[in-house]
Amino acid sequence: MGVRYPCKICKFGVKKNHKAVHCDRCEQWVHIKCNQINKETYNNLMNNNEIPWYCLICSQEIFPFSNLTNFDFTTTLAGKKVNFESVKDL
């Protein structure tokens, strides 16, 4: 028998007493620790259902430049050549 609600990142079950967030894109649960969400952000998400939230995996698919360093991202915005070797997992 499989896990009923597996965390999208660690694949372990997300239980009622765990702090987790539901991704608005993939419709899966993610532990806040697995997704590197601090408690303040978690509380804001829990108190406002109007805020869309996307897990790390979906964010990287939606925003392919999310893997750039801050320097490379600002360089791209400035229209300069980017060192794409710094891009991870593309």
The model's pLDDT over 22-77, given as tens digits with 9 standing for 90+, comes to 999 999 999 999 998 999 999 998 998 788 888 988 888 887 666 666 676 677 66
Tokens describing residue 63: 């925003």
Residue 2 pLDDT grade (very low, low, confident, very high; cuts 50, 70, 90):
confident
pTM: 0.67
Q: What are phi and psi of 27, to 5 degrees?
A: 65, 30
- Of the CA atoms within 13 Å of residue 85, those in its CB half-sphere come to 1
Contacts of 69 (CB under 8 A, 6+ apart): 86
φ/ψ bin of 27: left (φ > 0), alpha (ψ from -120 to 50), beta (otherwise): left
pLDDT at 90 over 50: no
Residue 7 pLDDT grade (very low, low, confident, very high; cuts 50, 70, 90):
very high
Domain ranges of the chain: 20-86
The CATH number of 20-86 is: 3.30.40
